[in-house]
């Protein structure tokens, strides 16, 4: 948060208010993350079960998706609360920072996707 706070030129009051928002949601976020970890563990168990069970895999994947949706809603709620603390100029700058971060994540995703296409042992497998 320090680099973002610096780039947005947050006042001490804004930093304090934003810290309070995150503190208020800490337990909720921890709970949602734990649900995702448990759901992913169940999904892996279904994928790597002794026998192939499409229904079990789909049910486990749906549970992961539901847990991730719950986390997304919580994160959206937090983002909304943080945006309310920012000035209109800071909101514009925050949106630009988010776009830059998204572009970077997209580049990384594309690199990973290309490597996956090369197969597990390099080259075309």
For the stretch 47-75, pLDDT in tens is 999 999 999 999 999 999 999 999 999 99
Question: CA separation (Å) from 49 to 24, 56, 83?
Answer: 40, 10, 45
Under the banding of pLDDT at 50, 70 and 90, the label for residue 1 is: low
Distance CA 39, CA 37 (A): 6
Instruction: Read off the tokens for 95.
Output: 């949106």
What number is the average pLDDT over the span 70-95?
95
CB 63 within 8 A of CB 71: no
- HSE (side-chain half, CA atoms, 13 Å) at 50: 0
Between 2 and 120, name the one with better pLDDT. Answer: 2
Phi-psi map region of 119: left, alpha, beta (phi>0 left; psi -120 to 50 alpha) = left
Contact assessment for residue 42 and residue 122, using Cβ atoms and an 8 Å cutoff: no
> CB–CB of 71/29 below 8 Å?
yes
2-86 — its CATH code?
1.20.120
> Which residues in the chain belong to E strands, given as ranges?
none
Question: Is the per-residue pLDDT at 125 higher than 60?
Answer: no
Spans of all domains in the chain: 2-86, 88-125
Within 8 A by CB and 6+ apart from 74, the residues are: 25, 28, 29, 32
This prediction's pTM:
0.78
85, two tokens: 């603390």
């Amino acid at each position: 948060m320090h680099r973002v706070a610096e780039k947005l030129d947050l006042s001490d009051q804004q930093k304090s208010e934003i810290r309070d928002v995150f503190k208020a949601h800490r337990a909720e976020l921890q709970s949602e993350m734990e649900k995702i970890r448990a759901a992913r563990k169940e999904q892996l168990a279904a994928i790597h079960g002794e026998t192939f069970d499409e229904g079990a895999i789909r049910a486990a994947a749906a549970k992961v998706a539901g847990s991730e949706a719950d986390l997304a809603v919580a994160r959206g709620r937090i983002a909304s609360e943080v945006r309310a603390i920012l000035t209109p100029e800071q909101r514009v700058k925050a949106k630009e920072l988010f776009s830059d971060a998204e572009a970077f994540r997209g580049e990384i995703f594309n690199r990973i996707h290309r490597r996956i296409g090369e197969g597990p042992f390099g080259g075309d497998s």
